[in-house]
Amino acid sequence: MTDAARMNVESFNLDHTLVEAPYLRLADRKQLPAGDVIVKYDVRFTQPNVEHLEMPVIHSIEHMFAEKSRNHSDRVIDFSPMGCQTGFYLILQGEHTAGEVADLVAATLGDFADAAEVPAANETQCGWGANHSLEGAQLAARAFLDQRDEWLTVFAETRA
């Protein structure tokens, strides 16, 4: 993509036909005026334009990851779903190696296996409390974890 055609949204400049999910990808790094650094990771569960996660599964992964990741790191700012339903954005405070991010994601998704419920999946704490799937979130987490050795390879042509 030429500089003239660059868009403001980082993911709009990513050629989604060249990536191969699952992966973790540093999507953005910003240094704020006070000097703090925030980083955004693309946590891609499914292959763009080929498969997607169903909304109750996405919703439950979002709730579970948002709650459980903070047991592993005090630097988690946000974990939010992509509108295309293929993954999530993980926003962290400070610099991290790819391995550290992978460890955080693995530890958090590992917590899903023993979960008996989706945190805050009720009408009082959630805007659509009935739209959840604990089993679907657990299956998606297990599938992602099973491919951990591929997470740091983003582009298909670099896969063995």
- CA 12/CA 128 separation, integer angstroms: 29
> What are the tens digits of pLDDT across the range 87-143?
999 999 999 999 999 999 999 999 999 999 999 999 999 999 999 999 999 999 999
Return the half-sphere exposure (C-beta side, CA atoms, 13 A cut-off) of residue 112.
27
CATH 3.30.1360.80 fits 16-153, yes or no: yes
Please tell me the predicted confidence (pLDDT) of residue 4: 62
How far is the CA of 87 from the CAs of 10, 45, 59, 63, 116, in angstroms?
A: 15, 5, 11, 14, 23
Residues 44-102 pLDDT 10s: 999 999 999 999 999 999 999 999 999 999 999 999 999 999 999 999 999 999 999 99
* Among 43, 61, 32, residue whose Cα is nearest residue 132: 61
Cα 154 to Cα 18, 20, 112, distances in angstroms: 8, 6, 24
pLDDT grade for 160, boundaries at 50, 70 and 90: low
